Every structure is written in structure tokens, then in C-alpha cells.
Structure 1
């Protein structure tokens, strides 16, 4: 994805306020061997870009005054109640250096799982994103969590995920729970009552 920005020289609260009043969002690019660079972005375009999941988990081609560099969105601040981005931070990316970032999880095939199909279970998503490490060229837009084999009362952990080539989950030595399938108390009681009825 491509992002166009402009170099800015003025900084401070007053300068940032003037930028926002002109429909622009102040930002910064940091990291790598170069010094941090102050930038300004089109506020409206950035606001809409932030609604796209890919913008958060993709390497972005940032063009600043005609020169393009690869960056990753690291942080952004929204206005308390207005649809306005107050500030955005981007980190430079080196193709040969591994990056640490968070990637969204996409859950698929819940309806086909034994838990839902036969057990009447409700699948809960415990994690919605996963911290990973990989080279920039191997960064996935998202990671798919296949729920098709999930049983009622069961759960899926980070160790069960099929990660793309070159991608490592950063779980700090823990096998984190990603999703669980639990049978609602009412459904379990009804099932037990039905089973007891059959045995009479």
C-alpha cells in the first residue's frame, strides 16, 4: 500500500494544531540508520486508511517529497470524540532485518466444526491478533485460524496454528489460548435432561 506524506519542519503544539486545522495529521518516521523525520499526512485519507486491516499489518510504501521508503505503522492517536487522527508513528523497515509486529487473526470454518454442528457450542475468540517475528517480505496480512476440527469444550492454542513460512509467533514461552468452544449452561442442562428422559 502506498502512502503520500510531506516533510515538515515546524514542531510543537501550535504547529500541530495549525496542521490539523488545515486537514493534515502530523506524524513521524523513525528507525533505521537515518534520523527521525517529521511528516504531515492528509488527515482524511489517513482516517479512512486506518479502517482497513491491511494498513495495520502491511509494509507501506511511504513517499515523502518524491522519495519512497518502506515503513510499518507503529502507533496512532485518535481524537477523543471527533473522527480525526491526531498523530501517527511509522517505523522504517530494512528488508534484511526481522521485524516484530502484531497481525490480525481470521477465524474460519466455525460452522463446520463438531463443536458447533453437533455440540451446540459457542466459539469464543480469546485472541484477535498475534505478535510475530519475520522478515518484511514474509509479513502476512493476517493469520488464518481453522476451527473445523474444534470439539465442544475444546480450545485452540498458538501452538496449533499453521503459521506461514518464516513467521514465528512471539508468545514468550507460553502456549496461549486463541479460541474456546463452550456449551451454554442452558443447553448442557437440557441435553442432560433429555438423556435422563431416554433412560427411563
Structure 2
């Protein structure tokens, strides 16, 4: 999957510059890696936030248009800093990618189907790992890895080594890492203490003293 983002290059850096950019509705960022020099950039805050909310950020190739140039740079989002309690981007790191050169990316794992142990035995499907790390050329980055879990019974576990990868995509996760499993439902019994024949006594009122306002 690919998307486009417009950036402006900048020469100044520092906390003061970053705050000034944010007040102007822009987000500071940097592009690095891929054999090139780091480039400090800024991007329109609303446009960037809307884009990031509409794509899988970790594994979408971004065509970065710098200062309106016709030939964009391709990159992945390496890190996004967000405000602790506001929906606001603070800083974005991009890492360059080159066509035909394999890269490592996080790809989400989607569980498909209802396990037999859930459907027929009342079990619970628990997903432990929600993404895996893969290696491939940018053109082959999958949007997600779909895993069929319909055959899992109670006590069955699906591990990273069981996941079938698309052609040209290498799974870098430990084959023994657990992806999901089906466990027996936990039965919780609620015990209620009932006291019969006990009448509640009226609460005693605490005497109040009137003050003349002269207390120290």
C-alpha cells in the first residue's frame, strides 16, 4: 500500500522551532537512512493526522513530496510522537526505502474464522501477538497477514512458525512465538452473603456543636 504526503524542508531545529511550527499548524519531522543525509522537514498537521488515521502507518510506503518536487522520496514511518492527552502529532521520523532493497516492517496479524473450540466447546480465543516482523522488498509489503483459526480446539496454540507467508515475504519472528490459542472458559461463581432476620438498626446521629466563630 502506498500514500502521498507533502512536506516542506527546514533549516532550523530545536525545541523553540518545534513549538513555533506546532503553533502554525505544522508538525516537525526528519527523514533519514537509505544512504542519504538526514533532512529536517515539516508537514501540515491536519493533513498528516487524517492520513495516519486512514492507513496502516507501520507498513505503508509513503511518497514524500519535498517542497513540491515532482520526484518524491519513498519512506516508511519509523516513529510518531503524539501528545499525551490530545489528538495531536508532535514529531514524525521517516526512514527512506529503496525500490528492490528488502526492509523489515511490522505487519498486523488478522485471525480469520471461528475456532472449533469456541464454536463447539465454549472456549475462548486469545490473541497474544497482534503483529509480526517480516522482511521483503517495498513492493511486496502486505497490508496484513491472514491466519485461519477455524481448526483450533481447546488447548491448541498457533505459533509464528505455523503462519503461511506470502511469496517473497520472510517471517523474522521466533517460530515458537505464540500468536493465539484457545483456552477453556473460566467459570466464576458469585457468592452472595445474605443475612436473614437481622434488622438494620437506625444510624446514630453524631452531635454537632455550634461554634461562635472564635475558635483558633
The TM-score normalised by the length of structure 1 is 0.87
The equivalent residue for 1:160 is 162
Paired with 1:80 and 1:114, the residues of 2 have a C-alpha distance of 41
SS in structure 2 of the partner of residue 90 of structure 1: strand
Asked if the contact 1:57–1:103 (Cα under 8 Å) also holds between the matched residues in 2, the reply is yes
The equivalent residue for 1:77 is 81
Question: Cα distance, 1:96 vs. partner?
Answer: 2.3
Deviates most, 100-109 or 54-63 = 54-63
The equivalent residue for 2:27 is 25
Question: Cα distance, 1:146 vs. partner?
Answer: 1.3
Paired with 1:45 and 1:121, the residues of 2 have a C-alpha distance of 44
1:67-106: CA deviations, max 9, x gaps?
A: 3011001101001112111100001101121101111111
Question: Which of the pair has more CA radius of gyration?
Answer: 2
Asked if the contact 2:161–2:175 (Cα under 8 Å) also holds between the matched residues in 1, the reply is no
**Structure 2 runs not aligned, ≥5 long:** 189-216
Q: How many residues align?
A: 184
Question: Cα distance, 1:49 vs. partner?
Answer: 2.3
Q: What pairs up with 1:39-58 in 2 under 5 angstroms?
A: 39-58=41-60
Find the partner of 1:140 among 122, 139, 142.
142
Show structure 1 runs of 4+ deviating over 4 A.
Answer: none
The equivalent residue for 2:118 is 116
Asked if the contact 1:101–1:131 (Cα under 8 Å) also holds between the matched residues in 2, the reply is yes
The equivalent residue for 2:191 is none
Paired with 1:90 and 1:58, the residues of 2 have a C-alpha distance of 11
Question: Cα distance, 1:31 vs. partner?
Answer: 0.8
**Structure 1 runs not aligned, ≥5 long:** 188-200
The TM-score normalised by the length of structure 2 is 0.81
Find the partner of 1:125 among 124, 127, 130.
127
Asked if the contact 1:61–1:69 (Cα under 8 Å) also holds between the matched residues in 2, the reply is yes
SS in structure 1 of the partner of residue 29 of structure 2: strand
The equivalent residue for 1:180 is 181
